[in-house]
């Protein structure tokens, strides 16, 4: 996905309403996620973060981790799932204990 706005929306749209608005003249945007209870997260995304796919993915993962913690999920499991280690540990349980 080349359009960062589409990428951000796709990352959260299944669970949240996504609003992206221009926040500053430097190209920063404000991401607001909401559900039926109201706003659940707001995050300022700089132009540099928005235009770098790796940095943008880190922002998205960071927001997902924060939301998961607020929902009471185990942060280590969520972090492992975001980094892919969770899938490897489930396929090879001993591999997760080797290090």
96 has pLDDT over 60? no
Rg (CA), the chain: 16
Q: How many domains does the chain have?
A: 1
The continuous run of DSSP H or E covering 50 comes out as: helix 47-51
Q: Tell me the angle at which helices 75-83 and 53-70 cross, rounded to the nearest 10 degrees.
A: 160
91 has pLDDT over 80? no
The residue count for the chain: 99
Model-level pTM? 0.74
pLDDT in tens, 27-65: 899 999 999 999 999 999 999 999 999 999 999 999 988
Cα distances (angstroms) measured from residue 97 to each of 77, 86, 90: 14, 12, 11
Tokens of 11: 């990352």
Query: What is residue 88's predicted lDDT score, i.e. its pLDDT?
Result: 47
Domain hosting 49: range is 4-98
């Amino acid at each position: 996905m080349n359009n960062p706005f589409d990428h951000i929306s796709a990352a959260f749209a299944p669970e949240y309403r996504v609003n992206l608005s221009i926040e500053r003249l430097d190209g920063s945007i404000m991401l607001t996620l909401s559900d039926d209870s109201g706003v659940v997260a707001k995050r300022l995304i700089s132009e540099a973060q928005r235009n770098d796919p790796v940095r943008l993915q880190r922002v998205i993962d960071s927001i997902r981790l924060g939301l998961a913690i607020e929902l009471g999920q185990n942060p280590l499991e969520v972090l492992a799932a975001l980094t892919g280690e969770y899938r490897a540990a489930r396929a090879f349980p001993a591999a997760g204990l080797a290090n």
